[in-house]
Amino acid sequence: MRRDARTFLLVALALFAAGCEGVQSALAPEGVHAERSAFLFWAMTIGGTLIFAALIVLTGFALLAPRRSRQWMTQESLLIGAGVVFPVVTLSVLLTYGFIVTGRPVSGDGEPRPIEIAVDGRRWWWSVTYRDEDNRPVVSANELRIPAGRPVAIKLTSPDVIHSFWIPKLAGKLDMIPGRVNLLTLNARRVGVMRGQCAEYCGGAHALMAFNVVVMAPEAFEAWLRRERASALEPADALAQQGKALFFATGCNACHSIRGAAAASELGPDLTHVGGRTSIGAATLGVDKANFARWIRDNQHIKPGNLMPAYGIFTPGQLDALASYLAGLH
């Protein structure tokens, strides 16, 4: 029994520790908002634990101590102070502190103007629009890239249903509401890759509606944005060229955009530089040729309920060609 109890305790501690790390842990903050939320969480958790422990001690004392030793616990002043005044004061202080901490703006007067990025929550993917130095839109999908150490203003909306934008390591949740633009300011401390997701049920494929956040050095971000605004390169080999022809012949351009390739639909994710992203299918699969082929053929098994039909019409050779074309779109 003692060994079983020890094993259970070790497993519980290991699971608790594992939940404090990872690419999607709010307890391992990498941004200003997330640091404030994490501090508030720990302050309330530790404070609540201490109060709970004190109540257990007092309850044990009331039950087990001699009657004469516990008579002081029946005083009216103690009941009013501990039962009314203490909870009201403590909760009021915590509520006020929470409003101050979470409501304080991230960027101050001396900091540069925030970079603006528009994110639209779709069923069940993300459209991301940057602006270059000439204020021209640069459209991407299912991935957010931001510079480290710079405030970034994320404009959130949705054209269909309510979604909720959440990057646990950077900030709290904020809803994406059709007809309304909500603003969330991020400020990442250091470079790295973390994960975000839709945090409000939005329909069939909600559980697989995620995205990667790539935090880059400011110079690297500017260089990436210059490359990102360019049109897609022409296929370099015969197999990829065959894949490009199939892309248009089978109607893929009816849903997807590829800048410079006469595909301009906004029904599905922009694919201009899809081969250079960290994932496809809204963080469902990694980016490589094999996963492109899997997604085209079996996407309804990989991400049930998404709005792209499974394409079983391609022969293995055609699928290989189409996957080669998409994987080469850097």
* Ranges 39-48, 75-84, 293-302, most confident: 293-302
**Longest pairwise C-alpha distance within the chain:** 95
Percent of the chain beyond pLDDT 70?
Answer: 91
Per-residue pLDDT for 94 more than 90? Answer: no
Per-residue pLDDT for 302 more than 90? Answer: yes
How many CB atoms neighbour CB 233 within 10 A? Answer: 15
Contact by Cβ (8 Å): 190, 30: yes
Question: Are 119 and 99 contained in the same domain?
Answer: no
Question: Are 182 and 266 contained in the same domain?
Answer: no
Q: Which residues pair with 131 in a beta bridge?
A: 137
| Distance between CA atoms of residues 263 and 270, nearest Å | 9
Residue ranges making up the domain that contains 264: 238-327
Q: Does residue 192 lie within any of the structural domains?
A: yes
Question: Are 58 and 124 contained in the same domain?
Answer: no
Question: Are 210 and 250 contained in the same domain?
Answer: no
**pLDDT tens digits, one per residue of 272-301:** 999 999 999 999 999 999 999 999 999 999
Question: Are 94 and 123 contained in the same domain?
Answer: no
Q: Does residue 23 lie within any of the structural domains?
A: no
Angle at 12 between CA 6 and CA 13, to 5 degrees: 90
| Distance between CA atoms of residues 168 and 166, nearest Å | 6
Percent of the chain beyond pLDDT 90?
Answer: 65
Question: Are 188 and 242 contained in the same domain?
Answer: no
Q: Does residue 256 lie within any of the structural domains?
A: yes
Q: Does residue 49 lie within any of the structural domains?
A: yes
Average pLDDT over every residue of 40-53: 90
Band of the pLDDT at 106, cuts 50, 70, 90? low
Question: Are 149 and 124 contained in the same domain?
Answer: yes
Question: Are 165 and 96 contained in the same domain?
Answer: no
Q: Does residue 20 lie within any of the structural domains?
A: no
Question: Are 129 and 161 contained in the same domain?
Answer: yes
How many CB atoms neighbour CB 153 within 10 A? Answer: 16
Q: Which of 132, 124, 126 is nearest to 155 (CA)?
A: 126
Average pLDDT over every residue of 38-61: 90
Start-to-end CA distance of the chain, whole Å, equals 59
How many residues are there in the chain?
Answer: 330
Please give the pLDDT value at position 162.
Answer: 97
Please give the pLDDT value at position 14.
Answer: 47
Angle at 247 between CA 161 and CA 130, to 5 degrees: 45
Spatial CB neighbours of 179, under 8 Å, sequence gap ≥ 6: 157
| Distance between CA atoms of residues 215 and 192, nearest Å | 5
Q: Does residue 11 lie within any of the structural domains?
A: no
Question: Are 298 and 248 contained in the same domain?
Answer: yes
**pLDDT tens digits, one per residue of 17-27:** 445 567 888 88
Helix pair angle (316-327, 238-249), 10° resolution = 100
Per-residue pLDDT for 307 more than 60? Answer: yes
CATH of the domain at 145: 2.60.40.420
Burial bucket for residue 246 (CB in 10 Å: 0-12, 13-18, 19+): middle
| Distance between CA atoms of residues 56 and 189, nearest Å | 41
Q: Does residue 194 lie within any of the structural domains?
A: yes
Number of domains in the chain: 3
Q: Higher pLDDT residue, 174 or 33? A: 174
Question: Are 51 and 139 contained in the same domain?
Answer: no
Question: Are 146 and 81 contained in the same domain?
Answer: no
